[in-house]
Structure 1
Amino acid sequence: MTNHTSIYLEFDSFLRSIKQNLDGSFGVLLGAGASISSGIQSANDCIWDWKESIYQTLSGNQQKLVDPKKSERSRMIIQQWLDAQNDFPQAGSPNEYSFYAERTYKIEADRIKYFQNLCQGKIPYVGYKLLCLLNKYGIVKSVWSTNFDGLVERAAQQANITPITINLDCVDRIYRTESSNELLYIALHGDYKYSTLKNTAKELDSQHEEFVVAMRRYFIDKSLIVLGYSGRDRSLMDAINQAFTDKGAGRLYWCGYGKNAALEVQNLIQNIRNTGRIAYYIDTNGFDNVMLSLMKFCFNEDVAKQKEINEILKIINTDQPILPFHIKNGITKKYLKSNLFPVTFPKEIL
């Protein structure tokens, strides 16, 4: 059966769909984009760290450069040098992350130390705290993550929830009975606190078979919300494809950033829909905004829960960067209704 209808779902429709299905249970898959507001740099920033390190040690150029994560000129100088060597992938190539991770730190322990330093002292921001509330309310039963930052575990502990962490060193723990006061946390790419960490192409392309089997079984009757994940890991994308093309009732909600889904995501969603299961791409404003919108809408009639949500919102750091107001292309009446007021001029001017 082929489904030719659009793979795109409006954000407001997504909110209504989740609220309509609060009596079910959900898993959440988090990628690196979910942690940026908590102070963890993005995968792209890591790539530029590694490029700069290689440039400094191989070029012999002792010129002090401005941080390439902040300077377009520095990026240009580094990239031009890399391109001239004919030994590095083209800028923007999908294998840049795995290539530069291994080329910069060939010793696995050094890669682990790099990520350990990145995550040191970072505090979970509001999205992670609201995610733990969804677990407390019995809606989100598990969090699957490609991240190494430990923010899910820290947020759970702060909320007096016991995180049951499952990683590549203890895959068998995934087969356990769910408990109402526990959050199942599956670290798909390992964790810097443990010995096995997946970064290189060889590692990323060999998703642990136990995780694949567990995912296929787990999402037969549970839905998955994807947040902050680009889909760069082919083995994980294949695992999701296997899980949601099996017969089942669980849905896939892929929350991305931008109107148009990446080709890999489009293909994944279409494959799932071709089997008769439900899958959609939703254009969002990021992890924190999705969590806040879900909590506010889904529990707008529950005074006690709204009070808990508002308590969490008090921790929002006013030092967080404020983005310029922007209206996306499309229907604008929801902005106009809430932000425009009639203006009348006085009949007499003194």
Structure 2
Amino acid sequence: MSDRDTTKEQLVAKKRTVKDLADYIKIKSGTSPNYSLFLGAGASVTSGIKTGQELVAKWREEIYTRLSNEEYINAEEAKKWLSKNHPVWYDPNNEYSSLFEKKFDLPSQRRRFVELQVDKKLPSIGYAYLVELFESKFFDTVFTTNFDDLINEAFYQFSSDRPLLCAHDSSIKGVSITSSRPKIIKLHGDYLFDSIKSSLKETESLEGNTREKLTEFTKEYGIIFVGYAGNDSSIMDVLKHLLKQDDYLRNGVYWCVRQNDAIPPELIRLLGQEKVYWVEIEGFDELMAELALELGCTLSFGGNQKSTKREMMIQNFITDEYSLSKNNIIKSDLSKLKKHTLTHDISSLINELSQSDLDEQKIPEEDFKNLLYIDNLIRNKNYSNAESKLNDLINNADSDNIKSKYLRRLIEIKEEQKDTKSALEISDKLIALDEFNINYALSRTNIFTDLNEKIHYLKGLLEKFPYSINLKNHLSRIAILHLENHDEELITFDEIHDLIDKSLLQSSNLDNIAWRIKYDAIKTKHQSSYDKKDCNKSIQELLDKIKDVNPTHDT
């Protein structure tokens, strides 16, 4: 019997099942959840982000080889050598932080490295289940030590609720525990900031507002840890302190451990406390799927917008690179999703082709079949054949209308291949078909990965398309995302409100999403304010205007 199994047998009295956990989550007072989620790096593995263990193994070999000038033999030999020869900076008990700090001298270098690791990664299916659990009000807060944007992206694609993202200490200060809006609190910052915490010194301390907010939330909530090893002394020190207080963590701490993983040393020490338990799970995605089933949530893939990225995410679920369908719940949902996707593909194509009723723009049957064939190739990531076929079709297309549809799909392939230069060149060809087609112009925005670039580009279109409601709304939404974590140097809240007001002046119909965007702009502007008086006043004025448009509207 292995040491791991022996440890687990000794701790069997503190072991709980996923069903137990679901029962505890279910028993809540009113609409307020009993628990916050806490996600570590393990929750990002099936989204294609390398684990800390993978990075440590790579860095250890590189640094050992460089410093020792000897051939790398194995991990244990390297650890012994580094411990003996470089005890000042190397900590074998916290390899990730000490090796990361040795590998990259400056915070800006660490930020750029992290950015490359998380760039264009798409959330796994577990995040879709997570969104459903939030929508059903079983959770409203998630803490994370991860730098990626997977949680926020999942909400953006699958929910009509935009979460409040707190990625630095000052933004965390204004977060209210009573707010029902989903809250994402990044304890180590965001890769968009040079101040991300990953070096040894940095993870040994939590900034004041962050520490206070973690403490405040644990008074009312329990915490469920998923994919977290407990290697951050700053977080563990706060947790140990709170466990000693009778008034905190009254709903307990539930720490999820994968079936094939050893129980983290920090957890073994914590399990001596009355309010700490551990739960054996298959993995993050399987846990979210099981909780969703036990709590009566089903995958709905809600949200208001049609999105290429959303379709890519769903296709990733179906492709199932990490064999998550071994879990029966996920297998069943993927089976339903495949059937829905096939029907949706045909339906979407019919809708796309019927947007214009002009006889001269009707699509011939042969082109309809070609588009279905191309879409199937793209869905199955057969990009080489799809690109070759598209180039032939574009060269032989006898109308700009059908050529535009082929060009859009070619752009989609280049985006997926992360070939931004080629995607922009093809976008130029699309726009050249009709330089006054606002949809062609707006589609170019998706190619830019940086919010600054998107904003600069969209602002440049305002003079050419002064009467486009879609342009004003699109620019406003992206600007709000930018201002959640940046100052008003690039674009101001006044500019956003001016754009929204012009959009509403052109169309005050409640179907105009500018109403929702205006609400989001108000909330974002006041997100760090303790005094919510001005915020509440502005929201009430907005609601009054909506009632004036339609007194029966459910606001």
Same fold (TM over 0.5): yes
- Give a deviation string over 1:90-117, Cα, whole Å, max 9, x none: 9993221111001110111111111100
1:252 alignment partner in structure 2: 253
Give distance in 1, aligned partners of 2:137 and 2:165.
18
Question: Between Structure 1 and Structure 2, whose CA radius of gyration is higher?
Answer: 2
- Report how far residue 144 of structure 1 moved: 0.2
Question: Is the 2:169–2:207 contact (alpha carbons within 8 Å) kept by the matching residues of 1?
Answer: no
Distance 1:75 1:174 in 2: 50
2:244 matches 1:242: no
TM-aligned CA deviation for residue 22 of structure 1:
8.0
Q: Give the C-alpha shift of residue 133 in structure 1.
A: 1.4
Structure 1, unaligned runs of 5 or more = 62-73, 300-304, 327-350
- Separation in 2, partners of 1:102, 1:138: 40
User: Residue 51 of structure 2 aligns with which residue?
Assistant: 42
TM-score, length basis structure 1:
0.75
- Displacement after TM superposition at 1:324 (Å): 11
- What's 1:115 paired with? 114
C-alpha separation in 1, matches of 2:115 and 2:164: 20
Answer 1 or 2: which has greater strand percent. 1
- Letter matched to residue 32 of structure 1: A
Larger RCO, structures 1/2 (Cα 8 Å, 6+ apart): 1
Tell me how far 1:200 sits from its aligned partner. 1.3
RMSD over aligned CA atoms reads 3.3
After superposition, the Cα gap between the structure-2 partners of 1:284 and 1:5, relative to the gap in structure 1 and judged at 3 Å, is: closer
1:92–1:109 distance in 2 versus 1, CA, 3 Å = closer
Matches within 5 A, 1:316-335: 316-322=317-323
- Corresponding position: 1:87 with 2:92: no
- AA of the residue aligned to 1:37: T
Q: Give the SS at the match of 2:277.
A: strand
User: CA separation of 1:266/1:48 partners in 2, compared to 1, >3 Å: closer, same or farther?
Assistant: closer
Q: CA deviation at 1:119?
A: 0.3
Gaps of 5+ in 2: 1-10, 304-312, 328-555
**Secondary structure of 1:212's match?**
helix
Q: Take 1:264 and 1:81, find their aligned partners in 2: how far apart are those partners?
A: 24
Alpha carbons of structure 1 residues 110 and 260: separation in structure 2 relative to 1, 3 Å: closer
- 1:76 aligns to what SS in structure 2? coil
1:17 matched to 2:24? The reply is yes
1:21-60 deviations in Å (ceiling 9; x for gaps)? 4854121000000000000010011112322443565566
Q: Which amino acid in the other structure matches residue 267 of structure 1?
A: R
Q: Deviations over 1:168-199 (max 9, x none)?
A: 3424444336444x321111011111231111
Name 1:308's counterpart in structure 2: 300
Letter in 1 for 2:240: N
Task: State the partner residue of 1:283.
Answer: 280
CA distance, structure 2, for counterparts of residue 269 and residue 78 of structure 1:
29
Distance 2:153 2:302 in 1: 20
**CA 15–250 in structure 1, closer or farther in 2 if over 3 Å, else same:** closer
Give the match for residue 341 of structure 1: none
Q: For residues 130 and 115 of structure 2, what CA distance do their matches in structure 1 show?
A: 23
Counterparts of 2:54 and 2:144, CA distance in 1: 19
AA aligned to 2:205 is S
TM-score by length of 2: 0.49
Give the ranges of 4+ consecutive aligned residues of structure 1 lying more than 6 Å apart after TM superposition.
89-92, 309-314, 323-326
Report the AA paired with residue 162 of structure 1.
R
Aligned 8 A contact 2:90 2:98 in 1: no
The answer to which of 210-219 and 122-131 deviates more is 210-219
- The aligned counterpart of 1:175 is 175
What is the DSSP-based 3-state SS (H/G/I as helix, E as strand, rest coil) of the residue aligned with 2:319? coil
Rounded Cα–Cα distance in structure 2 between residues aligned with 1:211 and 1:103: 26
Residue of structure 2 in register with 1:332 after alignment:
none
Q: Which residue of 2 aligns with 1:342?
A: none
| CA–CA separation in structure 1 for the residues paired with 2:149 and 2:172 | 20
Alpha-carbon shift at residue 297 of structure 1 (Å): 1.3
Q: Please tell me whether residue 229 in structure 1 is matched to residue 231 in structure 2.
A: no
Which has the larger displacement, 94-103 or 6-15? 6-15
Cα offset, 1:285, TM superposition: 0.9
d(CA) in 2 for partners of 1:75, 1:309: 48
After superposition, the Cα gap between the structure-2 partners of 1:239 and 1:81, relative to the gap in structure 1 and judged at 3 Å, is: closer
Provide closer, same or farther for how the CA distance between residues 319 and 9 of structure 1 changes in structure 2, counting only shifts above 3 A.
closer
Q: Give the aligned partner of residue 338 of structure 1.
A: none
Distance 1:320 1:75 in 2: 31
* 8 Å contact kept, 1:253–1:279: yes
State the secondary structure of the residue aligned to 2:140. Answer: strand
Conservation of the 8 A alpha-carbon contact between 1:50 and 1:100: yes
In structure 1, the residue matched to 2:14 is: 7
Match of 2:294 among 285, 293, 297: 297
Paired-residue identity, %: 25
